[in-house]
Structure 1
Amino acid sequence: MQEVLNKISNQINFHRMSTRKIGKQINTTHVTISNFLNGKSQMRSNTYGELLKEVFPNDVTTRRMCCERYFSQTDKPINKRLAMDYLAVHGEQELLKQLVDIEKTSHDKDNREWAYVYELIYLRNKGELSGKKLQKRLHQAKKEIKLSTTEMQILFEILSLFATADRRNFKLLNDTAAILLEEVDSISDPYLKLSFEYKIKECMIQGLLMSGEVEKARTTCHEIINREELRRRFPMIVATAYGTLGESYTFESFETATHYINQAIEILEKKLNARMSLRNDMMVNTIEFLKIMWKVGLNNVHPIHIAEKAYLEIQLGDNEKAIRMLERLKEENGELSAFQLYYLALAKNDKNLFAESLNKFEQLGNIFYSQLPKKNLGII
């Protein structure tokens, strides 16, 4: 670990950085930084992560190495727990898995519980566990771990919230999020309180938007975007807020929608890890969808998914090709989604299919995108 401390100190000295300024930026004191670098004391894992961002702003490889060394060697149980959350929030999946595997056999029972739950977060972020499967694992977990701390009880409920989001049950999501935000106030640790609060709000903004509460969604997005410390501490959550804010203008303004989504892409486009890369691709796909819907530069649009390729063909005027693509998709999957039914209805100009699409959107509680078939049915 001394090698890492020397590396940080040398970087600070070489670039003549002020530990006083760094401390102010990351909400700690220059004395805390000096004592840590001199090996006199340990530093909270989240503060250590922020220190590395200041000292090595453009060197994610070095930051990753430094995190791996410190998070595995710190002997304070709370530091291990903070590290698990810090790595999860920043999308550092492999480092999170390494730490989780170590803490599964920790002598500290709280750390063993955290490792159990953060493994579920790891699996969800990897796309291996979501929706009903995640809910089932959570039900099973209640029999296996005690959830002995307030933080763990709330985190467990946040994971249940994630499962609700995966299942697209937006009304339940909104109701649960409102309750959880009140419970977060009982968390004493300032970092965990902030982290958990914005995990909930990250879910909530999508729930509000999809359930048709557009202004509430926008207000919460702006709150996230305008809180400066979140840009430094939780960049992926800020990117989600920009993306959701842009999406909220889908039916109002192509320019406004793409402006905000491009702000999200600016945060994500460095693709520092696989999770950021995936989130970036999702934002790019949303812009492709908007271009198709608004008929902007259609000859330069390259959608990934077959359904959106069919939508593009419709907007280019080749309805027959789109119908063949969508019917092939139905054969492969057994049914069409609400969006795919809408595309087929467009291609066939079929009011019954528009009504079927609307029904599917409403079953999901997706009031926002139900505007698509509603416009064609003359409802709005």
Structure 2
Amino acid sequence: MGRLTLKQMILNKCEEERGLAGRLAELSGYNSGSSLMKILKDEKKEFAKFYGLVKIVRYLFPYEEKMLLAEYAATLDPKKQTARLMLEYLNINHLNEAQDDLISKMANCSNLESKEYAKVYEIDRQYVKGELSFNDAVVNFSSLQLKYTETKLIADIMKSYCYLDEHEYNMIFKTLSPVENLFSEIKDEYLSSVLYFRYAILMVGHYVRKQQIIKVRDICWSLINQSNDEYFVSFAYLHLGNSYMVESYDKSYNFLMRGYELVKDKHGRIEFGLRNSINFVSNLWKKDTVILDIKSENVSDVHEVAFYYIQHDQFGMGEKTLDTLNFNSLTLNQKAFHKYYRGILNNSMKDFTDSIKYFKQSGDFFYRQLPIMKLKEMNLPDCVLEALAE
């Protein structure tokens, strides 16, 4: 006998436990247990309420949720709405094999809306897999001729993730500021809420860099309290931890570790961001709580290894590590950190002022305070420090 379908698994649970169908109907937004049972008994009928399905699976099978929904994705009609919503679920949960399979089916189906969804998510997958460079991905997203509000919003959010990877926070703000009013046009509860959480997390990254710290913390706690998704909660802990980085090692490290434990070995992009921030705050406060990757050639990883050596008085190794990077190929934000590390290494006023310049050009006013603090230690006049802080 083959494996039971997801519908049959839910149906069996309902038949085993009296009153469960009614509770699941209330949880998932159906009018009654009988209306839910009709959907469950007909394998050809799709769930009209996708978020309801997610809630049911999360309630009944909390440890198998992602596996079961990935398997269910393979059974969906690529021309229908459930497949389009499932694509976002698979993407946000990094169920890559199932996502690639569904993208392929949707790209080759006859439904124009499904084909449009497939185009957007395919660019994101190609970028994440390294098949597209940052510049090519941004160009491809910007070149899309999209008809539907949902796909326009998804494309702008995906493009903003590209900017996030390059620390181009001004471009995130420029891309997402015009889309805030689009969420009210999205009728599906699941897609609207998930995309709004994505939007909020990306905008919080911008607010951190603009030193709008109270706003950042309010938004992060709101996300932590509202979302059941470990992806969004971990992102909120990332920004919450970053907001305390200069102020308090203990608060920063503890929030970052809460996020890291949620997504360790699960979510590549957010796991990397949390690990990078844990390394930075540990190095900044000269603690040994780092999670370094000394073999990585990623710029942020190389910088954190160098920073570790410098903060532990291994100046030769620190300089050698920094020298492995081509300064001219770095982004403005990466140049700012690079010059900050050089400034500590060489006790160089010139490197610190260069760091301030690059932070300012990248739109990062939060981390710009670090080289300013170093210049203050060098007894620069307050009037000069105030001018640099403007």
Shorter chain as normaliser: what TM range?
A: 0.7 to 0.9
- Equivalent in the alignment of 1:63: 68
State the distance in 1 between where 2:205 and 2:253 align: 17
Q: Structure 1 residues 259 and 86, CA, compared in 2 at 3 Å: closer, same or farther?
A: same
Shift in Å, 1:105 = 1.6
Shift in Å, 1:17 = 8.6
Shift in Å, 1:204 = 0.6
Q: Structure 1 residues 70 and 244, CA, compared in 2 at 3 Å: closer, same or farther?
A: same
- Equivalent in the alignment of 1:345: 343
Asked if the contact 1:23–1:33 (Cα under 8 Å) also holds between the matched residues in 2, the reply is: yes
> Structure with the greater relative contact order (CA < 8 A, sep ≥ 6): 1 or 2?
1
State the distance in 2 between where 1:278 and 1:152 align: 22
1:85 pairs with 2:91: no
Q: Structure 1 residues 61 and 370, CA, compared in 2 at 3 Å: closer, same or farther?
A: closer
Shift in Å, 1:165 = 3.4
State the distance in 1 between where 2:163 and 2:201 align: 13
- Equivalent in the alignment of 1:264: 259
Between the two proteins, the alignment pairs up a number of residues equal to 364
Query: Of residues 106, 114, 121 in structure 1, which corresponds to 2:117?
Result: 114
Identify unmatched segments of 5+ residues in structure 2: 294-300, 377-384
- Equivalent in the alignment of 1:295: 286
1:316 pairs with 2:312: yes
Shift in Å, 1:218 = 1.8
SS at match of 1:252: coil
Identify unmatched segments of 5+ residues in structure 1: none
Q: Structure 1 residues 253 and 30, CA, compared in 2 at 3 Å: closer, same or farther?
A: farther
Q: Kindly report the root-mean-square deviation, in angstroms, between the aligned alpha carbons of the 2 structures.
A: 2.9
SS at match of 1:70: coil
State the distance in 2 between where 1:48 and 1:240 align: 24
Shift in Å, 1:100 = 0.7
Shift in Å, 1:208 = 1.1
Question: 1:2-17 alignment to 2 at 5 Å?
Answer: 3-4=4-5, 5-11=7-13
Question: Which of 11-20 and 156-165 deviates more?
Answer: 11-20
Deviations 1:14-63 (A, max 9, x none): 68892333344444453343222211742144432332222221125741
Question: Which of 191-200 and 321-330 deviates more?
Answer: 321-330
TM (norm. structure 1) is 0.85
- Equivalent in the alignment of 2:216: 217
Asked if the contact 1:222–1:241 (Cα under 8 Å) also holds between the matched residues in 2, the reply is: yes
The one-letter amino acid of 1:206's match is G
1:306 pairs with 2:294: no
1:282 pairs with 2:273: yes
TM (norm. structure 2) is 0.83
State the distance in 1 between where 2:363 and 2:222 align: 25
Shift in Å, 1:259 = 2.1
SS at match of 1:19: helix
- Equivalent in the alignment of 2:297: none
Question: Which of 239-248 and 332-341 deviates more?
Answer: 332-341
- Equivalent in the alignment of 2:24: 22
The one-letter amino acid of 2:275's match is V
**What is the aligned-residue identity percentage?**
21
Asked if the contact 2:276–2:304 (Cα under 8 Å) also holds between the matched residues in 1, the reply is: no
State the distance in 2 between where 1:287 and 1:15 align: 46
